[in-house]
Structure 1
Amino acid sequence: MTEQESPFENPTLDKKLHSSKAIGGATFLGGPLAAGYLIQENFNALDKPTEGRNSLIIGIIATIVLFGGIFMIPESIIDKMPKQLIPLIYTGIIWGIVEWMQGDALKSHKEHGNAFFSGWRAAGVGFVALLILAAGIFGYAYMEGSNPAYDIYDEKIAEFSKNETESLTFFNHIETKDDLLLLNELNHKVLPKWDENIKIMQDLITLEGLPSDVMEQSKNLLEYSQLRFEAFQLIKKIIKEDTEKYDSQLNMLNLKIDNLLNKLNES
């Protein structure tokens, strides 16, 4: 402190703060949790403990909301996103918040030539926050992996796929079998299997404990099963009545089936 300066002119003379750059780096590494802790330390140094405590609480809540939201995003969307996009977004947001809440104090601290904490210290906080996040993510993954709903879902989907595969063999010999054999196959094999698949997907839609993207896929598979059942019923009528008057209706159903299959393949 110079002779002209007073403690009121340089209130952070004997204190260390974290720069906004250091907080940003720690945030990129350890998320909002690291940011909340470092912002709290700055507020404590500025004699604002209430704001500091609130910052840490907000950092914890933001971390839970952020990663909870990420888990809800379908994997197909996550896989298409650049890996650094989400960290860059929340780091930019937090950097702006730091500048808004503490920018003037940090600027004054720097202009007076006062000391800042090393960036390595902030990075260490970010690394510890990263370890905490990793432990939470692995814990969540373990709990999800032990969810009995997944075992039920896998068992039912395997049954669904078996029915689908066996029923679609009908098209392999539609030109070689006579009408009587084809109708017999439709009545006793094909239609019952798609009726069973409809019931399977109806049961899965009501199954508790499945994530939203799996539930959405189940709804699409239910619609797919209903379309298949309707199409095979129409094929049965075409064969039984020996007519072409249902061809346009069947083509429309097949188009809907193809569109839904494309949607399912993208998910």
Structure 2
Amino acid sequence: MSEPPVKPVLQKPPGYKDPNSPAGQRRFRPPPRKPVLPPSFHSKKRKTSYGRACCCCFCIFFLIFLLLILICGAVFYLWFDPKLPGFHIQSFRISRFNVTKRPDGTYLDARTTTRLEVKNPNGKMTYYYGDTEVEVSFGEGGYETELGTTTVPAFTMPEKNTRSLRVETKASNKLVVDEVGNKLRARYRSKSLPVNVEARTKVGVGVAGLKIGMVGVTVKCDGMSKKQLDGGDMPKCVINMLKWLNIH
């Protein structure tokens, strides 16, 4: 006998679920995972808030520190009432002045004696001076001629004290330009010869037994004429501190 024909097996369509299969045997698909972001994409809220807190603390500390400095400065000023030292020419004398023309040039012989008065007007502060270099010159502008420099040893100025510094300078056979020599001689005879005195030193302050650092100071006494000096008119000098503060 012939075998019955075999029926072809029907294939299940995609996504077909057998209703007779138990629920436990169904496939379980896990939920999709979130993509992992690199560290550069993470939130920076914590770091930003921490930086702002540090910045605020620093600003507050700086303001408090500045306020304390201002208060201490005000108390210091009210208690000690600081005043700058005073400088002025006490006397100036030209003991020799001679301009000589020779075949090989024009020469200047001069000798001067200067008394520079220094005052400490403070009642609760002491001034300490380093070595002081005093320079004297004649003339102005293009014909200014230096006579020399003398160094005064370091000294101390107690409270409410005055000191006179005696400075001698001289120029022996100093060669000058002919035109300069003529101007110096003419101005000397007319008593209009400009005289300049410049002192360079360092000044420190003593308060309640404490010595505070040294500051460079330049004292200039310019524009004085021989006629003024002979008449006793001794103008005050200008104090240049730190090359930017000019004080009369």
TM-score, length of structure 2 as denominator length: 0.28
- Bigger Cα Rg: 2
Q: Which has the higher strand share?
A: 2
Q: Which has the higher helix share?
A: 1
